[in-house]
Amino acid sequence: MRGKFNYWFFTAIILILVVLFFVSARFSSSQDETGTGLWAALIMIYSMLGIIVISLFLKYLRGKSEKRKNYENL
């Protein structure tokens, strides 16, 4: 259950960031502000994706080490 909660949480954050990305692109008054808002939103989106990928990789490594420990205990 804990893993499912984490995936729902990350999905919700990504969706919020995507919505903020489009809102900043639409409602900015000048082109310079639009560019800044777009870059800020892109940086936030890619940093969240990076956090998700790193956490999934660490979870994979932890599961792999637990399997190895269980195999050695047999």
Long-range contacts, 49-53 (Cβ 8 Å, 24+):
49/14, 52/10, 52/14
* pLDDT tens-place string over residues 19-58: 777 766 666 555 555 567 677 777 777 788 888 888 888 8
pLDDT for the residue 50: 80
Threshold 0.75, pTM exceeds: no
Q: Which domain holds residue 38?
A: 2-73
How far is it, in rounded angstroms, from Cα 28 to Cα 37? 8
Number of domains observed in the structure of the chain: 1
H helix runs in the chain, sequence order: 2-27, 31-73
